[in-house]
Amino acid sequence: MLEDTYKLKGLREKLVKTLQQKGIRDTQVLEAIRTVPRHFFVDDLLAEESYKDQALPIGSAQTISQPLTVARQTELLQVKSGMKVLEIGTGSGYQCAILCALGAKVFTVERHIPLYQKAQVTLTRLGYKPRMKGGDGSLGWETWAPNERIIITAGDRTSQKRIYSN
Protein backbone atom coordinates (compact mmCIF):
# COMPACT_ATOMS: atom_id res chain seq x y z
CA MET A 1 0.00 0.00 0.00
CA LEU A 2 1.24 3.46 -0.81
CA GLU A 3 1.97 6.21 1.65
CA ASP A 4 -0.24 9.26 1.87
CA THR A 5 2.34 11.72 0.55
CA TYR A 6 2.15 15.51 0.41
CA LYS A 7 1.70 15.24 -3.34
CA LEU A 8 -1.29 12.90 -2.98
CA LYS A 9 -2.78 15.09 -0.25
CA GLY A 10 -2.42 18.04 -2.62
CA LEU A 11 -4.17 16.12 -5.39
CA ARG A 12 -6.95 15.25 -2.92
CA GLU A 13 -7.33 18.94 -2.03
CA LYS A 14 -7.55 19.76 -5.74
CA LEU A 15 -10.27 17.10 -6.09
CA VAL A 16 -12.24 18.73 -3.25
CA LYS A 17 -12.09 22.06 -5.10
CA THR A 18 -13.25 20.35 -8.31
CA LEU A 19 -16.21 18.84 -6.46
CA GLN A 20 -17.10 22.25 -5.02
CA GLN A 21 -17.02 23.72 -8.54
CA LYS A 22 -19.37 20.92 -9.65
CA GLY A 23 -21.92 21.82 -6.97
CA ILE A 24 -21.07 19.81 -3.86
CA ARG A 25 -21.88 22.09 -0.92
CA ASP A 26 -22.06 19.86 2.16
CA THR A 27 -18.93 20.80 4.13
CA GLN A 28 -18.91 17.51 6.05
CA VAL A 29 -18.97 15.49 2.81
CA LEU A 30 -16.16 17.62 1.40
CA GLU A 31 -14.15 17.12 4.59
CA ALA A 32 -14.65 13.35 4.37
CA ILE A 33 -13.41 13.43 0.74
CA ARG A 34 -10.45 15.52 1.93
CA THR A 35 -9.69 13.04 4.75
CA VAL A 36 -10.13 9.62 3.12
CA PRO A 37 -7.15 8.65 0.91
CA ARG A 38 -8.88 7.40 -2.25
CA HIS A 39 -5.62 6.03 -3.64
CA PHE A 40 -5.63 3.31 -0.94
CA PHE A 41 -8.71 1.83 -2.66
CA VAL A 42 -7.18 1.37 -6.12
CA ASP A 43 -4.13 -0.35 -7.58
CA ASP A 44 -0.90 1.43 -6.63
CA LEU A 45 -0.25 2.28 -10.29
CA LEU A 46 -3.45 4.37 -10.30
CA ALA A 47 -2.62 6.44 -7.20
CA GLU A 48 -2.43 9.81 -8.95
CA GLU A 49 -5.29 8.95 -11.31
CA SER A 50 -7.49 8.28 -8.26
CA TYR A 51 -7.75 12.02 -7.61
CA LYS A 52 -9.25 12.79 -11.00
CA ASP A 53 -13.03 12.91 -11.14
CA GLN A 54 -13.37 9.55 -12.87
CA ALA A 55 -14.27 5.94 -12.17
CA LEU A 56 -11.37 3.47 -12.10
CA PRO A 57 -11.12 -0.33 -12.31
CA ILE A 58 -10.89 -2.26 -9.03
CA GLY A 59 -11.09 -5.87 -10.25
CA SER A 60 -13.93 -8.36 -10.68
CA ALA A 61 -15.08 -6.26 -13.68
CA GLN A 62 -16.10 -3.50 -11.22
CA THR A 63 -15.10 0.14 -10.73
CA ILE A 64 -14.60 2.58 -7.90
CA SER A 65 -17.24 5.25 -8.50
CA GLN A 66 -16.40 8.68 -9.82
CA PRO A 67 -15.76 11.02 -6.85
CA LEU A 68 -18.62 13.31 -7.91
CA THR A 69 -21.00 10.34 -7.75
CA VAL A 70 -19.75 9.38 -4.28
CA ALA A 71 -20.03 12.97 -3.05
CA ARG A 72 -23.48 13.57 -4.57
CA GLN A 73 -24.94 10.29 -3.24
CA THR A 74 -23.48 10.99 0.20
CA GLU A 75 -24.78 14.55 0.18
CA LEU A 76 -28.28 13.30 -0.72
CA LEU A 77 -28.22 10.78 2.15
CA GLN A 78 -27.90 13.64 4.67
CA VAL A 79 -25.95 11.37 7.01
CA LYS A 80 -25.59 12.39 10.62
CA SER A 81 -23.14 10.88 13.08
CA GLY A 82 -24.49 7.67 14.62
CA MET A 83 -26.99 6.93 11.82
CA LYS A 84 -27.33 3.32 10.69
CA VAL A 85 -26.58 3.11 6.96
CA LEU A 86 -26.94 -0.02 4.83
CA GLU A 87 -24.68 -0.03 1.80
CA ILE A 88 -25.35 -2.54 -0.97
CA GLY A 89 -22.19 -2.96 -3.05
CA THR A 90 -19.07 -2.40 -0.96
CA GLY A 91 -16.79 -2.56 -4.00
CA SER A 92 -13.40 -1.10 -3.06
CA GLY A 93 -14.73 0.20 0.26
CA TYR A 94 -14.26 3.88 -0.62
CA GLN A 95 -17.93 4.90 -0.27
CA CYS A 96 -18.04 2.96 2.99
CA ALA A 97 -14.98 4.84 4.26
CA ILE A 98 -16.61 8.17 3.40
CA LEU A 99 -19.73 7.17 5.36
CA CYS A 100 -17.59 6.00 8.30
CA ALA A 101 -15.67 9.29 8.21
CA LEU A 102 -19.03 11.03 8.64
CA GLY A 103 -19.66 8.97 11.77
CA ALA A 104 -22.24 6.60 10.30
CA LYS A 105 -22.65 3.05 11.59
CA VAL A 106 -22.20 1.29 8.25
CA PHE A 107 -23.45 -2.19 7.36
CA THR A 108 -22.12 -3.13 3.95
CA VAL A 109 -22.61 -6.12 1.66
CA GLU A 110 -20.47 -7.12 -1.36
CA ARG A 111 -21.21 -10.09 -3.61
CA HIS A 112 -17.74 -10.27 -5.18
CA ILE A 113 -15.80 -12.06 -2.45
CA PRO A 114 -12.31 -10.93 -3.64
CA LEU A 115 -13.51 -7.28 -3.49
CA TYR A 116 -15.12 -7.86 -0.09
CA GLN A 117 -11.86 -9.31 1.27
CA LYS A 118 -9.70 -6.53 -0.15
CA ALA A 119 -12.08 -3.82 1.11
CA GLN A 120 -12.09 -5.40 4.55
CA VAL A 121 -8.28 -5.23 4.72
CA THR A 122 -8.15 -1.63 3.45
CA LEU A 123 -10.90 -0.36 5.76
CA THR A 124 -9.32 -2.07 8.77
CA ARG A 125 -5.90 -0.63 7.90
CA LEU A 126 -7.44 2.85 7.84
CA GLY A 127 -9.15 2.30 11.21
CA TYR A 128 -12.74 2.09 9.98
CA LYS A 129 -14.96 -0.57 11.53
CA PRO A 130 -18.08 -1.15 9.46
CA ARG A 131 -20.01 -4.40 9.73
CA MET A 132 -19.22 -6.26 6.51
CA LYS A 133 -20.66 -9.28 4.77
CA GLY A 134 -19.75 -11.08 1.59
CA GLY A 135 -22.81 -12.21 -0.34
CA ASP A 136 -25.96 -11.13 -2.16
CA GLY A 137 -27.18 -7.79 -0.87
CA SER A 138 -30.31 -7.60 -3.01
CA LEU A 139 -32.49 -8.44 -0.02
CA GLY A 140 -30.65 -6.17 2.40
CA TRP A 141 -29.20 -7.43 5.67
CA GLU A 142 -32.07 -8.37 7.96
CA THR A 143 -29.87 -8.95 11.00
CA TRP A 144 -29.11 -5.23 11.27
CA ALA A 145 -32.45 -3.83 10.08
CA PRO A 146 -33.97 -1.34 10.28
CA ASN A 147 -31.61 1.24 8.85
CA GLU A 148 -32.01 5.00 8.76
CA ARG A 149 -30.46 5.23 5.30
CA ILE A 150 -29.82 2.78 2.45
CA ILE A 151 -27.40 3.38 -0.39
CA ILE A 152 -27.17 1.06 -3.37
CA THR A 153 -23.84 1.64 -5.03
CA ALA A 154 -23.91 -1.37 -7.35
CA GLY A 155 -26.24 -3.93 -8.80
CA ASP A 156 -26.74 -6.19 -11.74
CA ARG A 157 -29.73 -7.37 -13.75
CA THR A 158 -30.09 -10.48 -11.61
CA SER A 159 -30.26 -8.42 -8.40
CA GLN A 160 -32.65 -5.93 -9.99
CA LYS A 161 -34.99 -8.73 -11.02
CA ARG A 162 -34.89 -10.09 -7.49
CA ILE A 163 -35.59 -6.70 -5.97
CA TYR A 164 -38.39 -5.67 -8.31
CA SER A 165 -40.14 -8.94 -9.14
CA ASN A 166 -43.66 -9.57 -7.85
3-state SS class at 25: coil
Distance CA 135, CA 145 (A): 16
Annotated active-site residue in 50, 65, 138, 159: 65
Question: Is 165 marked active-site?
Answer: no
Instruction: Cite the DSSP H helix spans in the chain.
Output: 6-21, 27-35, 67-77, 94-101, 113-125, 157-164
Which residues are annotated as catalytic?
A: 65
